[in-house]
Amino acid sequence: MLIETHAHLDFPDFANDLEDVLRRANEAGVIRIITISTSVESSRRAIELAGKYPAVFAVIGVHPTHVEEAEDDVITPLRELAKSSRVVAIGETGLDYHHLPSEKVAKEKQVQVMSALRTETDEEIEAQIRDGAYKSKQVSLFQQQLDLAVELGLNVVIHQRDAWEDTLKIMRPYSGKLRGVFHCFGGSLEQANQVFDLDHLVSFTGVVTFKNGAAVRKVAAQVPLWKFMVETDCPYLAPVPFRGKRAEPAHTRIVAETIAAGREVALQEIAEATTETAEKFFRFNRE
């Protein structure tokens, strides 16, 4: 038995064949699926899916890259939505500095002919100011959702991209108040240990099957058995041999099999440990 701890079942990618997707997951031994939200509307859809399908549970929250289009107050509707017993965590929330306003300006400048001694333009300075404002909005949204999780007694699903130190800095004051899982973990063993030192978890995706995923496979083979979970992040990151196609919850089994092979243990050992870890983290029985 396996638990898919990070899927996006409310995305349009699954609109036409969701029941077939869920059937294939069950046939692969995936007994529960956590569908993760990216906005308030996404949270509503996730709860609807969780109410319709017994194997599906919802995590509600606003993704950091959605901060610009998010309403001024997302906490009030999230608090109301969290009254559903099908909600098992807050997220995905966190920080994502991968695509900043200044990046677009920099790319535009690359195609221009510039002198070697060119000084910063007003446009570049303005972009850096926008970077700071964008990051500040993400930090505020992240902290608000962490506070909500503490208030509701829920754990959090963390998204982190190119913002490692800031993410840990924000998480530290919440130690002992909640736990988080750093989903789609692709960092080093040292970074994984930083997460564990704060009593949080990591989760691995189909990246462990990629040709260029050797470093992640190595980390997945070394971290303590009870400190990680498995996921797909579907419809993204389809594992080998499905690269280039839509990922789906059934592929959680491939992730687990790959990690088991890397650790030289039976699939059953990974399945039992990650399932128990997920059950404790998400605490499914809120009814």
Structure tokens at 23: 């059937």
Per DSSP, the three-state class of 156 is strand
Neighbours of 250 (CB within 10 A): 23
* 244 half-sphere exposure, CB direction, 13 A CA radius: 1
* Residue 265 burial by Cβ neighbours in a 10 Å radius (0-12, 13-18, 19+): middle
Count the residues in the chain: 287
Separation between Cα atoms, residue 244 and residue 57, nearest integer Å: 27
Per DSSP, the three-state class of 3 is strand
* Residue 178 burial by Cβ neighbours in a 10 Å radius (0-12, 13-18, 19+): buried
Label residue 73 left, alpha or beta by phi (over 0 means left) and psi (-120 to 50 means alpha): beta
| Residue pLDDT tens, the chain, 287 long | 999 999 999 999 999 999 999 999 999 999 999 999 999 999 999 999 999 999 999 999 999 999 989 988 999 999 999 999 999 999 999 999 998 877 655 555 554 545 444 555 766 777 777 888 889 999 999 999 999 999 999 999 999 999 999 999 999 999 999 999 999 999 999 999 999 999 999 999 999 999 999 999 999 999 999 999 999 999 999 999 999 999 999 999 999 999 999 999 999 999 999 999 999 999 887 55
HEC sequence for 13-59: HHCCCHHHHHHHHHHCCEEEEEEECCCHHHHHHHHHHHHHCCCEEEE
- Residue 115: the pLDDT is 47
Separation between Cα atoms, residue 213 and residue 243, nearest integer Å: 13
Structural domains of the chain in order of their starting residue, each with its CATH number: 2-282 (3.20.20.140)
Structure tokens at 132: 């700071």
- Residue 130: the pLDDT is 81
For tokens 């609109």, name the residue: 15
Beta pairing partners, 35: 7, 58
- Residue 117: the pLDDT is 45
Those residues with Cβ within 8 angstroms of residue 118's Cβ, 6 or more apart along the chain or in another chain = none
Separation between Cα atoms, residue 39 and residue 61, nearest integer Å: 6
Q: Largest Cα–Cα distance in the chain? A: 66
Dihedral through CA 11, CA 280, CA 90, CA 99, nearest 10?
A: -70
Beta pairing partners, 30: 2
Amino acid in position 102: S
- Residue 280: the pLDDT is 97
